[in-house]
Amino acid sequence: MIKCSFRDSQKKRETWAGDVLVLPMFEDESLDMTGVVGDPSLYRGVLAHIEACRFRGKSGEHMVLSPPDGVTAFHVILVLGFGKKDSLDVEAVEKAARCCAKQAQALGARSLLAVFMDGVFSADQLVTWASGVSLMTYRFDSYIASKDESDRRELETLTIESAHASACADRWEKEKNVLDGVALTRDLVNEPPNILTPPAFAERLRALEALGVEVSLHDNVSLEKEGMRAMLGVAQGSVYPPSMVVMRWRGSTGKDQTRPVTFIGKGVTFDTGGVSLKPSAGMEEMKSDMGGAGVVAGLLHALAARKASVHAVGIVGLVENAVSGTAQRPSDIVISRAGKSIEVLNTDAEGRLVLADLLSYAQDHITPRMIVDLATLTGAMVIALGYEYAGFFSNDDTLANQLTDVGRHINEKVWRMPLHKAYDKMLDSKVADMQNVTNQRSAGSITAAQFLQRFVHKDMAWAHIDIAGVTYHKKPSFLSPYGASGFGVRLLDRLVSQHYES
Ligand code: BES
Ligand code: ZN
Ligand code: ZN
């Protein structure tokens, strides 16, 4: 992660140097450089250049310029467009951050100085911008042996000058921990499935103990004792034993201590589809099928590192959905932990089998205040909402509205989808309490959510977020250059800080 510092624009500059000077500009407003280089005669040329090129400062636009003659403190000026001043929102701020990080990379800059005009950007917006630049510098390159360290020109420091320096610095202290959480999630999701097997994943979660998280690993034998046959059925085709990991952060005292906010993640380290084998094209993306578990791990990291005053529990079910002679078959019937029988008609609808047992375990052992589960659950969600929004389902309007608002606020957008008994009926089986897939192709994400709801007690506030479309991309997305996005960590961290911290 980059090192970020904030300096007060009212204070005289002592050390003032960087590879690139970043200047924000609003659409169709003139660029004011008096605060930067002092003597107007110095920057007249810069302004003339901007005018000559008809640069208007639209959102996402940028312009690279040479510094005025006589200015040696920086090598390049990067003018960043933030769009119209009166429509400055989180999307415009993040767009500018993405653009800035890309240009810094292209210019080979190690350090940036950004001078934000006073009275326009709030401390929150400045931290959002810094956070966006930082997220964009994430790389997953630990397996590239040929990289030449001496050749590496990566952004290392960011200095932001503004009138809110101390408010920003306070917020940044917290934000850094959340960004570390996002990086952990991205690392886990990007990790190849031969390395991040269920036991290896579980072992890596132990590292959270260093932050004060209580981590307990539940192996094959204890899953068997718990009667988690739905989850075990998924795991039985793999040479790797499954594992359930329970992470608990006790950051609050008093009443909340007894009822933790609970997060559950699907952790399928690789999804071949099982005997209902997936087609080869694109199957490599199924290394990201543990994305829900990755988010839960990153979230627990964030909460513990920033010492959130909340009692939170994260539960992940780690399995590999492999195909082999011991794999479960379409038509197998398994008895879930909750005692309900499931006819497994499609072994590729495995995530819901894992989650069903985790939901049941959580409600009996944790007494949650509310439950949010995350899963790369259905391809149908990608068809419905594409790669921008995650779809979610909830039996609780308050929780649903909280999620929607927080998502809009931090630009990890979520869209509520319906639950209804008419969809639930589609899961009725002739030979068991339910089947794991419907007999039709329609409403795939909804029927998956209905399946989960069969394992949620009536009075339990619950939301299920299907992150299939937002977790892993081959193109840059959500301030991530390639691969894992980390979508969900900042969303849920903010949900906790805004609504569940004492
Ligand atoms: N892991 C997949 C869902 C998925 C698809 C995630 C694409 C990310 C991108 C899940 O286990 C699955 O295979 N679901 C099936 C369900 C079907 C058999 C009812 C699907 O979506 O095709
Ligand atoms: Zn599957
Ligand atoms: Zn899956």
Cα–Cα distance for residue pair 250/228, rounded to 1 Å: 26
- Ligand 2 centroid to Cα of residue 348, in Å, is 3
Cα 281 to averaged position of ligand 3 atoms, centre (Å): 15
**Could you give the CA distance from residue 74 to residue 53 in angstroms, rounded to a whole number?**
22
Q: Rounded to an integer, what distance in angstroms lies between the CA atom of residue 219 and that of residue 202?
A: 10
- Which ligand number lies closest to the CA of residue 468? 1
- 387 ligand 1 Cβ < 6 A: no
Structure-token match 């068809």, residue found: 383
For position 10, what pLDDT does the model report? Answer: 84
Q: Output the residue whose Cα is nearest ligand 1's atom 8.
A: 468
Ligand nearest to the CA of 441: 1
Nearest ligand 1 atom to the CA of 276 is: 18
Question: Cα–Cα distances in Å, from 61 out to 34, 55, 73?
Answer: 22, 8, 24
348 Cβ closer than 6 Å to some ligand 1 atom: yes
Protein residue with least CA distance to atom 7, ligand 1: 379
Nearest CA to ligand 1 atom 5: 379
DSSP, residue by residue, 420-464: -HHHHHTT--SSSSEESS-SSSTTHHHHHHHHHHTTS-TT--EEE
* Cα distances (Å, whole numbers) of residue 28 to 15, 53, 99, 114, 115: 32, 13, 19, 20, 19
Q: Rounded to whole angstroms, how far apart are CA atoms 70 and 236?
A: 71
Amino acid at 64: V
Positions marked catalytic: 278, 352
To test the pocket of ligand 1, the residue of 288, 350, 354, 377 to mutate (highest count of ligand atoms within 8 Å of its CB) is 377
The CA distance from 306 to 289, in Å, is: 27
Indicate which residue's Cα is closest to atom 16 of ligand 1.
349
Looking at the whole model, is its pTM more than 0.85?
yes
Evaluate: CB of 437 within 6 angstroms of ligand 1: yes
Q: How far is the CA of 87 from the centre of ligand 3 (A)?
A: 40
As a dihedral over the C-alpha atoms of residue 73, residue 77, residue 78, residue 82, rounded to 10 degrees, the angle is: 90
Ligand 1 atom with minimal separation from the 288 CA: 8
Mutate to test the pocket of ligand 1, among 378, 423, 445, 446 (most ligand atoms within 8 A of CB): 378
SS3 277: coil
SS3 344: strand
**Cβ(22) to ligand 1 under 6 A?**
no
Which residue's C-alpha comes closest to atom 13 of ligand 1? 348
Q: How far is the CA of 435 from the centre of ligand 3 (A)?
A: 17
Would you write out the chain's pLDDT as a tens digit for each of its 502 residues?
899 999 998 887 776 778 999 999 999 898 877 777 666 776 787 888 889 999 999 999 999 998 887 778 888 999 999 999 999 999 999 999 999 999 999 999 999 999 998 789 999 999 999 999 999 999 999 999 887 766 677 899 999 999 999 999 999 999 999 999 999 999 999 999 999 999 999 999 999 999 999 999 999 999 999 999 999 999 999 999 999 999 999 999 776 568 999 999 999 999 999 999 999 999 999 999 999 999 999 999 999 999 999 999 999 999 999 999 999 999 999 999 999 999 999 999 999 999 999 999 999 999 999 999 999 999 999 999 999 999 999 999 999 999 999 999 999 999 999 999 999 999 999 999 999 999 999 999 999 999 999 999 999 999 999 999 999 999 988 899 899 999 999 999 999 999 999 8
The closest-lying atom of ligand 1 relative to the alpha carbon of residue 289 is 1
Tell me how far apart the alpha carbons of residues 41 and 20 are, in angstroms, rounded to a whole number. 21
The DSSP code sequence of 137-160 is T----TT-TT--GGG-----EEEE
Closest CA to 366 of 252, 262, 238, 211: 262
Q: Check if 373 has its Cβ closer than 6 Å to any atom of ligand 1.
A: no
Any atom of ligand 1 within 6 Å of the Cβ of 351: yes
Ligand 1 closest atom vs CA 380: 21
Give bridge partners of residue 162 from the DSSP assignment.
Answer: 8
In angstroms, the CA 68 to CA 64 distance is: 13
Whether 444 is in the pocket of ligand 1, judged by its Cβ within 6 Å, is yes
Ligand nearest to the CA of 436: 1
CA of 144 to the centre of ligand 1 (A): 30
**What pLDDT score does 46 carry?**
82
Q: Is the CB of 379 under 6 A from ligand 1?
A: yes
Q: Is the distance from the beta carbon of residue 328 to the nearest atom of ligand 1 less than 6 Å?
A: no
Ligand 1 closest atom vs CA 350:
11
Q: How far is the CA of 252 from the centre of ligand 1 (A)?
A: 37
- Local structure of residue 296 (DSSP, 8 states): H
Measured distance CA(292)–CA(377) in Å, rounded:
9
CA of 155 to the centre of ligand 1 (A): 37
State how far the Cα of 15 lies from the Cα of 111, in Å rounded to an integer: 13
CB of 330 sitting under 6 A from ligand 1: no
Residue nearest to atom 22 of ligand 1 (CA): 379
Q: Which ligand is nearest to the CA of 274?
A: 2
Q: How far apart are CA 380 and CA 100, in angstroms?
A: 35
